[in-house]
Structure 1
Amino acid sequence: MASNVHISKHPCVRAKLSQLRSRSTNARETNALVHEIATMVGSDALAHGLDIVETGTDYSPLGYEYHTEHVSPERICLVPILRSGLSMIPAVQALLPSPVPVNHLGMYREKSTLQPVEYYNNLPYHKTDDPPAAELAIVVDPIIATGSTICAAIDTLRDWGVQRIIVISVLASEDGLQRAADSWPGAVELWVGGVDAETDDRGMIKPGLGDMGDRLFLTVGK
């Protein structure tokens, strides 16, 4: 794998992935496991991808002065890929010391070509007086299968003007992960809980986790 790919070696992540794979795991359990894995993988990603800067001084309850610190960069946004990326927002928001804007991207794969189709985008780049693009975009999507969707999201964010992207996922295929890593070398870092070798002819990871959106929102068999 490329140097900008980071696969979790945490034993608890591997055990939770095994639980998440099971078709007997219900929607509530699925949501909890995605949250827990996102917290562990996200913690590693942010430890690597953020810096700390002194911002001034304050006083403790006992009256002692201390230096205050904040994360850098200052302009960060969180970008969930609809639908299943919604499940990872609380975990990443809880890790950050302050709330950040959440800019949703809605994408689906066209069934015959497996190519991504964007159906929703609320990035604030449609007006000239909008604030500048985020310095860092944190993209959350539980699954990187063929890599087409995450590459399309990276292209969209790059066009918006972000300087760096951190992608946090629960599971990826080898080919999809490598494709995403090659999409913008030097600016994209990918952090995943686990990797499976391949996808099937439907573009689903084998053995994978199934359709995470359907599992999370009880729309299996729609």
Structure 2
Amino acid sequence: MAPNLPPNAHVSQHPCLQAKLSQLRSASTTTKDVQNLVHDISLMVGYEALAAGLAPKEEGTDKSPLGYTYTTTTISPSPSRISLVPILRSGLSMVPALSSLLPTPVPVHHLGLYREKATLQPVEYYNNLPYHSPTASNPNASGPAELAIIVDPIIATGATACAAIETLRDWGVKRILVCSVLATASGLENACGVWPEGVNIWVGGCDPSVDDKGMIKPGLGDIGDRLFLTLGK
């Protein structure tokens, strides 16, 4: 674990996660295994992030199969006030894992961001956040979520995560959780510093730095290409 990380950065110490991350690093790992490992690591990271970011809430009563009455429990904030925000394209690989942890389905709003090759700065090319709040003429429109969960396997320089956080803050989100498989120490510092009071970032591992192409060392390679079998494109 990198020393002196911001207090809102959390790197998992789970031994099984670390073993799976080691497997994911290998160039010999097949596409199918890459997909499975990203899913498994996302479950572990998401489990830790949601344990800290949500709270149980009593909502009524029900009966057990033996006829006993018990108090039912949901989560706070309610699922209707939570949004999953995958960063296209590799963030899509984490959506099933995070969705499976939540008790009921939540809205999924996609952000498309890519890094410009010369500057490594993010460029937004797609955004389907529902910006407009309900009105008399459009009662079905939804406003900003109370909690947004950004999913993206990699935080390298942190520029993409910063752009996503700023977009969601401008949208009006009250809190943001970011879940990633791997980050760098500098990337975490950059992303955590955008909105320290509103953001917590949870990652499976932390590497020291990036190379001159903005790729994490030793890292995972181009995780999008590995997930979607587009190596050598």
Would you say same fold, with TM above 0.5? Answer: yes
Contact 2:57 2:74 in 1 (8 A): yes
CA distance, structure 2, for counterparts of residue 53 and residue 216 of structure 1? 37
Which residue in the other structure is 2:9 paired with? 5
What does residue 184 of structure 1 align with?
A: 195
What is the CA–CA distance in structure 1 between the aligned matches of 2:76 and 2:148, rounded to whole Å?
Answer: 13
Pairing 1:14–2:18 present:
yes
- Consecutive aligned runs of 4 or more in structure 1 exceeding 4 Å deviation: none
Q: Deviations over 1:24-70 (max 9, x none)?
A: 11110000000000001110100000011110111111111111111
8 Å CA contact 2:6, 2:192 repeated in 1? yes
Is residue 188 of structure 2 the alignment partner of residue 173 of structure 1? no
Q: Check if 1:121 corresponds to 2:122.
A: no
Give per-residue Cα distances to partners, 1:111-141, cap 9 Å, x unaligned.
0010000011110015663222100000100
* Matching of residues 134-173 of structure 1 within 5 Å: 134-173=145-184
How far apart are residue 220 of structure 1 and its match? Answer: 1.0
Give 1:12-161 correspondences, 5 Å limit.
12-74=16-78, 75-126=81-132, 129=135, 130-161=141-172
What SS class does the counterpart of residue 108 from structure 2 fall into? Answer: coil
Contact 2:133/2:142, CA 8 A, preserved across alignment: no
Aligned equivalents of 1:54, 1:128: Cα separation in 2: 27
Give the aligned partner of residue 138 of structure 2. Answer: none
CA RMSD of aligned residues (A): 0.9
d(CA) in 2 for partners of 1:126 and 1:187? 22
TM-score normalised over the length of structure 2: 0.94
Determine the C-alpha separation between the residues in 2 that align with 1:50 and 1:115.
32
**AA partner of residue 197 (structure 2):** G
Question: Any unmatched runs of 5+ in structure 1?
Answer: none
Provide the secondary structure at the position in 2 that maps to 1:97: coil
**Residue identity opposite 1:92 in structure 2:** L
Q: Which runs of 5+ in 2 are unaligned?
A: 136-140
The one-letter amino acid paired with 1:95 is L
| Secondary structure of 2:194 counterpart | coil
Q: Distance in 2 between matches of 1:187 and 1:154?
A: 9
Give the share of equivalent positions with the same residue, in percent.
Answer: 66
TM-score w.r.t. length of structure 1: 0.98
Name the amino acid aligned to 2:148. Answer: A
